[in-house]
Structures are given as C-alpha cells and as structure tokens.
Structure 1
Amino acid sequence: MRLTYLTLLLAAPLAAIAQTKPVPAKAPVVLAPGNMQLQAGGGAENRPDKAPSFPGGEEAMGDFFTQNVQVPNKAKQARVTGDVLITATVGTDGKLINPKVAKGLTPECNAEALRVVQLLPAWQPATRRGVPVPVLVQVPVPFDNAGVTKFELDRKVPRSAKDAPGLN
C-alpha cells in the first residue's frame, strides 16, 4: 500500500508536466508607417504633438552656422571636415539647455560647436496638446572647411547618370 501511495505521489506531477502544451510564440510587432496605431489615452505624457523648430527652418540654421562657426586653425591645417553632433534639450521657453557633444571631430571643433550652439536664438518649443514641453534634440554643427579645395580624381560616373536624358 505504501508503495502504491508513493508511486501515485511521484506520478501525479510527472503526468501534469507531460500534459502541458508548449505556448506558441507571438509574432513580433513591426512598426511601419501603414502599421502604426494611436495609443489609447493619447500616448506617453512627454511625447509632443508638434516637434520643436528653429526659426526660419533648416536653411536659416545653416546660414547661422555659416556666419558664426569659426573653423579652428588646427582643424584647417589638418583639413578636418564633418559635423559635430550636439544633443541639447529645447526647453519650454525655446532655449537650448545642457548642450553636450554626442559625436565629435577634434577637441577644438567640439569646443567651437558648443560655443556656437549656445549662441543659437530661441526655438519654437515642442508642444503637447498646445502646452510647451521640453524635448531632446540633436543639432549637427558643420565643419566643412570651405577654404580647403578637394579634387575628386578618377571619379566614375554611375551608369544611371550616363543613361539619364539630357546628360549625353
């Protein structure tokens, strides 16, 4: 009798484990323009309805950088080109708060980029339901070294450009 009772105690959990079926895996959610839906309740509280914008747009920002960025002599001599990527928060008043170098070029270019970003005029702040909210932005500060001329040697014209009408 004891042996039967002991066998039943051991067999019951094993039978329960054997009867469980594997749970099928859910398909991953793909975020694509045609597959996105609004979140119930309007989404996250810090997600803006309207993004922040520089007064005059990207072209005005490019003009501002052209007029204010002074390429350091060391960078000119080394022919450094590229962008210093600055992250900052556009506050509710439109001013950039806490700018930091996210991707730099040289220490001199990074310092110049931080200096110029602090000179930027106030932006149009982001809004959520009509109320200004702070938003983190990335601002690329260009160092194109326009005084340095680069020549492209042995550049091949792509076949698609050769076949384009009006180019032959």
Structure 2
Amino acid sequence: MRLSLPAFLVLAAPLAALAQTKPAPAKAPIVLSPGNMQLQAGGGAENRPDHPPTFPGGEEAMGEFFTQNVQIPNKAKAAHVTGDVLVTATVGTDGKLSNPKIAKGLTPECNAEALRVVQTLPAWQPATRRGVPVPVLVQVPVPFDNSGVVKFENNRKVPHSAKDAPGLN
C-alpha cells in the first residue's frame, strides 16, 4: 500500500506535534497553615477545612502549657540537648488529640516526654468545614530548650550608663 504525499502529511502532522510538546511542569504542593487557609471557589477539596484547629488561648497559651508541663530528662540536661520534638496528632471533631506520633525526634527520652505531654494537652477548638467539625492532622512542636541550664558570659564589660545607675555601685 502506497500513501500519497498529502495523505502522509495528514497522518504525520499530529505525530510531529506530539513529539514537540513539552510535559507540563509539576505544581508545587500546597502547604496549609493557619494564615494561608482560604475557602476555594466551588468548595475545594472535601478534606480541606475552612477554619484550622486552634489551641485554647492560642500559641502563647500552648507555650505556657509546655513550660509548665515538659520535664527535661536528666540525660538530656547532662548532654545539653536543645530543640523541638515534632509530634503529629489528629485533632478530632471533639477537639481531643489522638494517635500522637513522633515526626522528628531529639533523643529517645525527649521523644517519650513529648508524647507524654501531648497526650495531656487540653481539647482544642476543632477544625471546621462549612461549619461542621472535621478531624485534621496537626504537627505540634514540643520545645526542649534546657532552660534550667544557664550560661554566663565571662569578661563582659558593663556599659558606663549601667555603672552610673543607682543601686549598681
């Protein structure tokens, strides 16, 4: 079977166009954060909340809770371990955290303490989707700053203005 030149061009043109198309660049994943959540036109994904879950009293209250409840393990104190243990957990429709897991740990002792403290967190205000509470996975940083370990600066000079202040002489 012999194709005429016009018939060959009609069949070859779509193949040539396909060979020249470039693949579409991959889109970067969307990162959800409390200040970056917006209602999408048409409702968006069914698992995307309109309002994120919130700790009662906000971030400051959570920091205060950790300050009062985190007990730095003796091994971590001795080794001067500092940093955050990242714990993932699900904030349920009732606001209670469930299924906590270590996402990024420091030491086995710090990881165990972080899990213990996260399990004692009070109930959160749950996330909502169209006014209905929905479960959401959150990542909670549990700080281990070793604040009991105090470092002093040696040979620090006192400014002249401080020397002249009353009560410092």
Deviation string 1:5-48 (CA, Å, 9 cap, x unpaired) is: x3339x788544532333466677688xxxxx964421011111
Identity %: 74
- How many residues are aligned here? 142
Q: Counterpart of 1:103?
A: 104
Secondary structure at the counterpart of residue 8 of structure 1: coil
Structure 1 residue 91 displacement after superposition: 0.2
**TM-score normalised by structure 1 residue count:** 0.74
Structure 1 residue 148 displacement after superposition: 1.3
2:96 touches 2:122 (CA, 8 Å); kept in 1? Answer: yes
Q: Counterpart of 1:18?
A: 12
Q: Counterpart of 2:161?
A: none
5 Å matches for 1:6-45? 6-8=1-3, 15-20=9-14, 21=17, 22-23=20-21, 39-45=40-46
1:139 partner amino acid: V
Q: Counterpart of 1:75?
A: 76
RMSD of equivalent CA atoms: 2.8
Determine if the alignment matches structure 1 residue 53 to structure 2 residue 54. Answer: yes
Unaligned runs of 5+ in 1: 1-5, 32-36, 154-168
Structure 1 residue 149 displacement after superposition: 2.4
1:66 partner amino acid: T
2:49 touches 2:129 (CA, 8 Å); kept in 1? Answer: yes
Question: In structure 1, what is the Cα distance between the partners aligned to 2:67 and 2:118?
Answer: 12
1:100 partner amino acid: K
